[in-house]
Amino acid sequence: MTTGVTVAVVGAPNLAKELGKKGTTSDLTLYNAVRDDHATTIVEPTQFPEKFPPLLAALAMADRCLLVVDALSRPVAETIATLDVVDVPTTIVLGPGVGDGELARVLKGSRLEGAERRPLDLPQLRALLEGWRAPVVEGPVRVPIDHAFPVKGVGPVALGVVRRGTLRAHDPLRLWPTSRSVEVRSIQVHDIDRKEAACGERVGVALRGVEADELARGQVLAPDGTLREGRTLSGESFVRCRYYRGDLRAGAQLQVVVGLASAPASLDELTPTTVTVTADRTLAYEPGAPAYLVDLSVPAGPRIVGRGTLR
């Protein structure tokens, strides 16, 4: 049994390829580093900053984040503003072109002000990643899907990370938020056939009971009755991005992001501590999970609006 960790590498487009072997490519690019009994999956938001959703998707997939700052550019500023809202453990990798004092001024008052900082040293970074582990979460299995495709002779295959419990071959599961029941035909972990996969491991899951074109990022494999679903979502402990410049009022058209799922949504109500939105389609979620609001039309400043905790 291997251990696993998923790491988002953001801020610079050229570091992730130095840390692992290239794998799945879409709006995200995944790299894999497998050594002994430990596997690191590195996620790069390849189409950011042209598109904002890949950044949030990479962070949603990640147990840890490497923020690479080799220049104080506009994309890096938006990444820092996003990480101030998205609560993922972050280590800052400081390139030679940015001084520590200059960075400290940029991060002052943010969540990242006290974050660990490392030099841009590849051997040190590889050793750091090999020491990281995904947290083990007990309970009914949950696997958010990030990619899916058909495989000749196998059928539909979903890719994702086991985020809770243990995934086992022949498990009967529900494809949330649909009502579709599926069965796990087989499991691979980094191209090795397995009977089961533990929390934190990245898996390829061959499924029975669904077609490949019915699978999509943001769907979740989990037993029936273990998640909630709905279009109207309410969050508490709302944290607004302090750099967001848009005008929030009832009826504003935004995007709501829950895990790896996103949908256009209308802002119903916003108070200093709570938020309610209605999405244009049903989303699956767990109470207590974060939901993010995004404004893709804002003319200036970061596109992240804020975060609420789902009720």
Q: Where are the domains of the chain?
A: 3-130, 143-222, 228-310
Question: How much is the pLDDT for 14?
Answer: 85
- Low-confidence stretches of the chain (pLDDT beneath 70): 1
Q: Find the helix or strand (DSSP H, E) in which 101 lies.
A: helix 100-107
| Contact call for residues 142 and 163 (beta carbons, < 8 A) | yes
CA–CA separation, 258 vs 286, rounded Å? 9
- Dihedral through CA 76, CA 82, CA 87, CA 92, nearest 10? 10
Length of the chain counted residue by residue:
311
What confidence tens digit (pLDDT) does each residue in 65-96 have?
Answer: 999 999 999 999 999 999 999 999 999 999 88
Question: How much is the pLDDT for 97?
Answer: 83
The contacts found for 25-34 with CB under 8 angstroms, 24 or more apart, are 26/147, 27/51, 27/53, 27/54, 27/57, 28/54, 28/57, 28/58, 28/61, 28/146, 32/190, 32/202, 33/126, 33/129, 33/130, 34/2, 34/190
Six-digit token string for 112? 């990242």
Burial of 286 (0-12, 13-18, 19+ CB in 10 A): middle
Mutual orientation of helices 100-107 and 74-83 as an angle, nearest 10°?
50
CATH topology of domain 228-310: Elongation Factor Tu (Ef-tu); domain 3 (2.40.30)
| Contact call for residues 209 and 253 (beta carbons, < 8 A) | no
In words, the CATH class of domain 3-130 is alpha beta
What pTM value is reported for the model? 0.96
Question: How much is the pLDDT for 1?
Answer: 60
| Contact call for residues 262 and 218 (beta carbons, < 8 A) | yes
Tell me whether domains 143-222 and 228-310 share a fold.
Answer: yes
Q: Find the helix or strand (DSSP H, E) in which 181 lies.
A: strand 181-189
CA–CA separation, 238 vs 82, rounded Å? 15
CATH of 143-222, one of 3.30.43.10, 2.40.30.10, 1.10.3720.10, 2.60.40.10: 2.40.30.10
Question: How much is the pLDDT for 96?
Answer: 86
